[in-house]
Amino acid sequence: FYHAISGRVPVKDEGYLITRDGEKRVILWSNSAITNEKGEITFIVRTGIDVTNERRYFQKVKESEEKYRTLAETILDGIVIIDFDGNIIFANRTAGEMLGFKNVKEILGRNIFEFICEDFKEKVKRDIKLVFENKGGFLVEYKMRDREGVEFWIEGIGEKIHFEGKDADLLCLRDITGRKLTEESLKISLSKIKGLLNQTVTALSTTIGERDPYTADHQK
């Protein structure tokens, strides 16, 4: 009524209607002003479309997006989404911290190969190609570096997804630097133990052989 008497009629507006059963329905109204010969508005024709189901659908989508976004932001693994050329179009907070960024928005638009160590770039290219051929879903290990050049090991898995209207590669990354260092330390320790064991056995064999020359070959 206000719009009618003031001469300002919105083309569309949204409101609610209550059905006889007490259900609240969302109505999208389209308004047309009818004027007289003087150009004065005499009445308004309102055409309503029930968009309740559509609004409910969009609300569910919004809630779902918020839920997955919360999951992505709170998970302890890094999540990165890249296009076929390796350009980063999404990254969560953990991935940002891995690569040395406090503000995750600084990563968007940069290329993932900036952070892949040289010896692993060709392998990453092959694996991305496999993902876009729907042959992903396998665990891989790469060595990466952050913005300061500090190298670290990651274990990752990639899957092809549809993101913002185009095909993309979702990468889930886990920092395994500590594990790799432990494995390397164990290898070194095992090598030292084997060396010590060999030296001990050799010394014992030599000693016994000197005491009993007839069994020297047997000791060896």
pLDDT digit string, tens, across residues 60-90:
777 677 777 776 677 879 999 999 899 999 9
**Per-residue pLDDT, 110:** 95
Which residue type sits at 140? V
Distance CA 47, CA 49 (A): 7
Distance CA 214, CA 197 (A): 24
**Per-residue pLDDT, 175:** 93
Question: What sections of the chain are H helices per DSSP?
Answer: 2-6, 52-74, 93-98, 121-132, 177-211, 216-219
- Nearest one of 28, 29, 25 to 53, comparing CA atoms: 25
Host H or E run for residue 87:
none
Residues of the chain with pLDDT under 70: 1-10, 63, 71-72, 209, 213-220
**Per-residue pLDDT, 128:** 92
Distance CA 207, CA 213 (A): 10
Report the Cα–Cα distance between both ends of the chain, in Å, rounded: 109
**Per-residue pLDDT, 2:** 43
Residue pair 109/88 in contact (Cβ under 8 Å)? The answer is yes
**Per-residue pLDDT, 4:** 44
DSSP state of 116: B
Can you tell me whether residue 85 is helix, strand or coil? coil
**Per-residue pLDDT, 200:** 80
